[in-house]
Structure 1
Amino acid sequence: MQKSDETIAERVMQVITDKFAGSFTVKNLRYWYTVKYGEISSRRIFLVIDQLEADGILRRSETHVNKVRFMRPPAPEKEPALPATE
């Protein structure tokens, strides 16, 4: 039985957010996915990465095909503290 691509993408994102702070390699991603969820092919990982890259979540390195950067959404700006009134 084939798992849906959406489920795999959700699992890949879970592994990325749990294990990696910034950039990582596809080999490391595949290893940690296998540890947590079971075997996955490199082809399937690349298909998911392509989709996440199209969504603007990941960015593949221009110089190294297996290196990927996780593009965290910008942190919400903190509201300036209100001056204390006495």
Structure 2
Amino acid sequence: KKFTYITGRTNTSTSRDREKGFVEFLIQKGIKAVIEEGDYTYEAGYSVAMRVLKKGNRPDAIFCANDIVALGVIDAAKILG
């Protein structure tokens, strides 16, 4: 029910289109996503995930703009247990 989406670079049309499609789909399902800015790098995925997952109100799912960001998220999640 609580989704976080880590974007790519916000100054690219590809990133904006991916985010728009993801958010529009969730809206159709009655779900609001929290958008976190990234930049298509492992380091961005890792640092955003560390910040998001250390909060008391963790998301149920984290979606990423690409696989490299997802790898950073996975490693952060492993470290935090």
- TM (norm. structure 1) is 0.30
Q: Give the helix-richer structure, 1 or 2.
A: 2
* Bigger relative contact order, structure 1 or 2 (CA pairs below 8 A, ≥6 apart): 2
TM-score (norm 2): 0.31
